[in-house]
Amino acid sequence: MSRVLITSAIPYINGIKHLGNLVGSMLPADLYARYRRGRGDEVLFLCATDEHGTPAEIAAQKAGKPVAEYCAEMWQTQKSLSDGFLLSFDKFGRSSSPQNHALTQHFAAKLHDAGLIEERTETQVYSNADGRFLPDRYIEGTCPNCGYDKARGDQCENCTKQLDPVDLIEPRSAISGSTDLEVRETKHLYLLQSKMRDELRSWIDTREDWPVLTTSIAKKWLDDGDGLQDRGITRDLEWGVPVRRGDADWPGMEGKVFYVWFDAPIEYIACANEWTAERGMPDADWQRWWRTDHGADDVRYVQFMGKDNVPFHTLSFPVTIMGANSTGEDWKLVDYIKSFNYLNYDGGQFSTSQGRGVFMDQALSILPADYWRWYLLRNAPENGDSEFTWETFQAASNRDLADVLGNFVSRVTKFCRSKFDETVPEGGTYGPEEEAVIADLTTRVAEYTRLMDAIEIRKAAAELRAIWVVGNEYLQRTAPWSAFKEDPDRAAAIIRLSLNLIRLYGILSQPFIPDAADAMLKAMRTDAAWPNDVPQALSALPAGHAFDVPENLFAKITDDQREDWSTRFSGTRT
């Protein structure tokens, strides 16, 4: 048994997330967590809401609520939606937790001790119309690199180039739209990332198994222009982690908070602390996942995120960890970062800020989670951007889920009930047809397992579908409804193998479509032991074993439904 730590990029608190957010981190992370649990590994799967900074303040202001109250309500909303999509987090925490406050201040003190934090007087943009300093992400303009006209002051989400607000062409306040901006002096703390450039490069060069997308973005940030830049880690805001050096005041930093991108990744660690605290467990239980001096050496830590989050997780957060470790601490560094491109929506981009696309609550109001999970994962944007269209969604749901998997389960169980009762029939022996199916599935399950181990999601989905098809093709070739007329024992053998195939499909499908998988396993009245030996797995349900006929697993999406949804969700959330 292995130990696997899994974190998903934590979503911002300011609003309900869209399907692009879901497939860019949380959903594939859940797929992997479910798979590893199914293989018998000890898994800790963590996520949280990212609650600090201007996005939360502005959203709360628009909602007419105190920011703390707004964040508490939105955490519950996001938690409920993650439950609705069957995301199996061991803990869905909050970056505003006392544990994250304490750990953020702890890391800041260690980084200061390591000589990696420096106070600098800088100029920041002040909006006279808004009466406040504007954080970089709340200044918009045209990117000087690619010409994208909605680039933020910290980074262009179109080309991922790191920016400074003064780089933007025709900058404006993202809050009010005002161009009445001026530059004022203020003091802030900087994380001296440039001092860690060589160490980061050496570390990234050893990550030979990382996806090309992950390493290419990291190396671009290391090599672009003057290379990795020092980064401000404090802001002139009220909502956030107060700037302190551990338990001590930080002279000159009164009234400031840590920058949200400094404290947010630390929440991964704090989330484990929250997990143990609410269960009354000792600190050693979360430290065994995060500290190598407490046993985390044997943990494989895997992160999931969209490509826009890669720079912070391959560079800035590792600087935080490495810097603290240079003072004698022993924090766990990530072992593997699975990054994703963008899922686009019907010819454009999903966008929370612009309200474009299908959002998680809207999706669940239409269909259960399994439909969305299957479509999004089989089309995960691993090697390039992918596109959501209602036509491809309908096709994947109908052809894969209803026609292939659902139809097989329904035909087998209903036929067995009508001819042999609701027990696995006895009689007959397996012949060349059954031997060929078992041999084929032995090869395919091994390949599916290899792809899931490698987190090659689209290929794994294609292999899983091919495994479902094996059962359908076997049923068509052997035609038990015809065999029963002349040789009931032959029909019994066909159905006996087919019922065992349903059990196998339930186990293998669980990471992708957990509700349907659970329905299959419950109907077969069986366990979910991973099929390390396929021939043995296909005889797990012996003759005489009772089963239930499940309800139809999937309904087909009609053309009228598709057209209605396409019109209702035309791209703008109101």
Domain count, the chain: 3
* Full strand arrangement of the beta sheet holding 151-152: 151-152, 139-142, 169-173
Q: According to the annotation, is 146 in a ligand binding site?
A: yes
pLDDT score at 157: 82
How large is the average pLDDT for residues 252-267?
94
pLDDT score at 193: 95
For residue 107, give both structure tokens: 């890391």
In this structure, are 522 and 450 located in the same domain?
Answer: yes
Q: How many CA atoms lie within 13 A of 571 on its CB side?
A: 8
Which of 346, 366, 386 is the last residue in one of the domains?
386
Burial of 43 (0-12, 13-18, 19+ CB in 10 A): buried
Domain of residue 233, residue span: 114-249
In this structure, are 498 and 393 located in the same domain?
Answer: yes
Q: How many CA atoms lie within 13 A of 559 on its CB side?
A: 0
Domain CATH number, residue 203: 2.170.220.10
Inside any domain, residue 83 = yes
| pLDDT digit string, tens, across residues 290-347 | 999 999 999 999 999 999 999 999 999 999 999 999 999 999 999 999 999 999 998 8
In this structure, are 401 and 525 located in the same domain?
Answer: yes
Determine contact, residues 303/334, Cβ cutoff 8 Å: yes
pLDDT score at 86: 98
Inside any domain, residue 569 = no
pLDDT score at 122: 85
Determine the distance from the C-alpha atom of residue 101 to the mean position of all C-alpha atoms in its chain, rounded to a whole number: 24
In this structure, are 525 and 401 located in the same domain?
Answer: yes
CA-based angle 241:338:329, to the nearest 5?
45
Higher-confidence residue of 570 and 61: namely 61
In this structure, are 177 and 210 located in the same domain?
Answer: yes
* Alpha helices (H) along 314-456: 317-325, 360-366, 369-378, 390-395, 407-420, 432-453
Which of 196, 229, 249 is the last residue in one of the domains?
249
Inside any domain, residue 460 = yes
Secondary structure string (H, E, C) spanning 475-518: HHHHCHHHHHHHCHHHHHHHHHHHHHHHHHHHHHHCCCCHHHHH
In this structure, are 219 and 148 located in the same domain?
Answer: yes
Using 50, 70 and 90 to split pLDDT, how confident is the model at 123? confident
Beta 348-349 vs 343-345: how paired, if at all? Answer: antiparallel
| pLDDT digit string, tens, across residues 525-563 | 999 999 999 999 999 999 999 999 999 999 999 999 999
Q: According to the annotation, is 271 in a ligand binding site?
A: no
In this structure, are 239 and 316 located in the same domain?
Answer: no
pLDDT score at 164: 83
C-beta contacts of 277-286 below 8 A and 24+ residues apart: 277/99
Domain CATH number, residue 505: 1.10.730.10
**Could you tell me which residues come within 8 angstroms of residue 365 by beta carbon, excluding any fewer than 6 positions away?**
none
Q: Is the pLDDT of residue 29 over 80?
A: yes
**Could you tell me which residues come within 8 angstroms of residue 299 by beta carbon, excluding any fewer than 6 positions away?**
3, 4, 5, 288, 289, 332
For tokens 């808004």, the residue is 130
Burial of 469 (0-12, 13-18, 19+ CB in 10 A): middle
Helix axes 260-278, 98-113, angle to 10 degrees: 130
Which of 358, 386, 414 is the last residue in one of the domains?
386
Alpha carbons 92 and 17: distance in angstroms, whole number:
15
Inside any domain, residue 493 = yes
In this structure, are 451 and 522 located in the same domain?
Answer: yes
pLDDT score at 352: 67
* Alpha helices (H) along 23-131: 27-38, 54-63, 67-84, 98-113
Mean pLDDT of the residues in the chain: 94
Alpha carbons 104 and 250: distance in angstroms, whole number:
14
Inside any domain, residue 567 = no
What global pTM score does this model have?
0.92
In this structure, are 236 and 372 located in the same domain?
Answer: no
For tokens 């065992």, the residue is 500
Q: According to the annotation, is 71 in a ligand binding site?
A: no
For residue 506, give both structure tokens: 């339930």
pLDDT score at 326: 97
In this structure, are 349 and 269 located in the same domain?
Answer: yes
Alpha carbons 110 and 115: distance in angstroms, whole number:
9
Alpha carbons 556 and 291: distance in angstroms, whole number:
49
Please say whether the dihedral angle defined by the alpha carbons of residues 243, 56, 337 and 354, taken in this order, is positive or negative.
negative
How large is the average pLDDT for residues 180-197?
93
In this structure, are 15 and 88 located in the same domain?
Answer: yes
Both ends of the chain: CA-CA distance in Å? 48
Determine the distance from the C-alpha atom of residue 37 to the mean position of all C-alpha atoms in its chain, rounded to a whole number: 16
Inside any domain, residue 549 = no
Determine contact, residues 273/103, Cβ cutoff 8 Å: yes
Q: Is the pLDDT of residue 226 over 80?
A: no
Q: Is the pLDDT of residue 83 over 90?
A: yes
Alpha carbons 504 and 507: distance in angstroms, whole number:
5
CA-based angle 201:205:211, to the nearest 5?
115
Determine the distance from the C-alpha atom of residue 520 to the mean position of all C-alpha atoms in its chain, rounded to a whole number: 25
In this structure, are 533 and 427 located in the same domain?
Answer: yes
Inside any domain, residue 36 = yes
Q: According to the annotation, is 416 in a ligand binding site?
A: no
SS3 541: coil
Please say whether the dihedral angle defined by the alpha carbons of residues 506, 512, 516 and 522, taken in this order, is positive or negative.
positive
For residue 37, give both structure tokens: 């649990």
Backbone dihedral region for residue 538 (phi beyond 0: left; psi -120 to 50: alpha; all else: beta): alpha
**What residues are paired with 152 via a beta bridge?**
140
Determine the distance from the C-alpha atom of residue 8 to the mean position of all C-alpha atoms in its chain, rounded to a whole number: 5
Where is average pLDDT lowest: 80-94, 112-126, 164-178?
A: 164-178
For residue 104, give both structure tokens: 């953020």
pLDDT score at 362: 95
Alpha carbons 9 and 310: distance in angstroms, whole number:
10
Alpha carbons 64 and 374: distance in angstroms, whole number:
38
- What secondary structure does DSSP assign to 22-42, as a single string? IIIIIHHHHHHHHHHHHTT-E
Domain CATH number, residue 276: 3.40.50.620
Where is average pLDDT lowest: 225-229, 279-283, 284-288, 500-504?
A: 225-229
Inside any domain, residue 542 = no
